Each structure stands twice: as C-alpha cells, then as structure tokens.
Amino acid sequence: MLVDSHCHLNDLDLYPLADTLLEEAQASGVCTVLVPGYDRASSLRAIALAERFTDVYAAVGFHPQDAEQVTERDYDDLAMWCRHEKVVAIGEIGLDYHYDHVPRDVQQQVFSQQIALAKRMNKPVIIHDREAHHDVLETLRATDAAAIGGVLHCFSGSVEMMREAIDLNFYIGLGGPVTFKNAKKPVEVACAVPAERLLVETDAPWLAPVPHRGKTNKPSYVRLIAEHIANLRSITLEELGTQTTANARALFGLGTR
C-alpha cells in the first residue's frame, strides 16, 4: 500500500472529482492521501476533504506566491485549523524565486512565521522550494525547524542538499519529475536517499509522471512513481511501498487520528 504524501485534491479542477479519483487511487494500491493547502480557500477545502474521507488528511498553510496577502487574521486562523484532528502539518509553505512576483524578504518573513507557528502547534512542515535552495536551508536552520521536522516536497536539489536536509530532520518527497527522460538530479537523489527518509507524492494535478507527462496528474499515478523509484533502487514495489508508507505515518501520524 502507498501513501500519496502531496496531492492537491483541493485544486478546483480535481475537487469535484474527489470520489472517483480516490476510488481509482485505492484500486492502484494507494491507501492514504495527504492534501496540502496553499491559501485560505484551498486549506479549507483540504479540511473538508479530510472530514469527508477516512483516508484523506489535510495540511494547511500559505504558499510563498501569496505571501504579500497574508494577515494576522490568517495566522490566527492557521492556528485554529491546526487544532482539527485531521490536520497533520502546516504547508505547503516555503520560498519560490522562479517568477520573483513577491519580494524575497516578504516570502522569507511569512515562511519563518509559519515555521514558528508550526513549532507552537507541534506540527511538521511541508516545504515548497523553487530555485531557492540556499535560502530554504538557511531559514530552516535559523528557525530551528529541526525541532518539528517535515518534508521538502517535490525535491529538486542535489544529493548534497538532500543530505543537509536530512541532517535538519527532514524527509525527501519525490514525484513525477523522477520519471522524466531528462531527469538527472532527481534520479541521483532517488538512488542515494536513505530508505527511512523517502516519501512518494504526485503533486496532482501537476507534474504527471511518464507516460502521462503533460496531462492532468492524479493520486493513482503515485504507483507509477513508486515503481520507477523501486526499479532505480533495485528493490520491489512492495518493499518501497512498505517503507514509504511507514515513513509518512511516522512523520504525519497518519492512522492515529
């Protein structure tokens, strides 16, 4: 059985199809799906999905691309949402320097404040890192995020960065890009990451794995990602599934809520 540790069933294109998508996922061996929020509306939809489906859990948070809109009320509500029995993490949060639409200092401030809140609420964090590797690691160090840990989702860094992240008590989430023909760093990381620190994810509806690249991603495709990583590591799908499911349960407390 597999856990899709990062799936946006709260995306407006997927949300109305949740019943069908979760049935397909279960038929593919996916036992649990974690749905992260990225703004107020998506966080509330994540909670609604977790309330509706036994094997769906939620994370709540504010994406760096929305950092300029985050208010004190949002932090208060984030703390309130974290008290929900099926909210297992704060995220996705982090830094995104790809477009530079939001000033970097604003992103860093909101990122740091959400980590501080996660520490107060004793929740792990789900990190979005796009072209911001150095500053993400520096922020994790400066805020002592190791105290709660979390996952660098859709990891795009090097093996060296992966090792630094693990030293900071973080897991490594790998998704569709590890299957891409031109993948280099994700493949290197998939082969080198310690088994007890690996998570698999889809990031649906984006980043669908081969042979569905360019199409809408969905939680059942986490099996394709897991199969590919298992082949890279020369282990069986069952071995990889057992380990990554245990890792997701250890990090997020899945199945205990």
Q: Which residues are annotated as a binding site for a divalent metal cation?
A: 6, 8, 92, 128, 153, 203
CA dist 226 → 24, 33, 156, 210 (Å) = 16, 14, 17, 12
Which tokens in the block code for residue 122? 């004793």
Coil, helix or strand at residue 173: strand
Bridge partners, 171 (sequence order): 151
Distance CA(170)–CA(89), nearest Å, equals: 13
Annotated binding site: 6, 8, 92, 128, 153, 203
Contact in structure between 210 and 179 (CB atoms under 8 Å): yes
Placement of tokens 């980590």 in the chain: 115
Could you give phi then psi for residue 68, rounded to 5 degrees?
-70, -20
Distance CA(62)–CA(48), nearest Å, equals: 17
Contact in structure between 134 and 127 (CB atoms under 8 Å): no
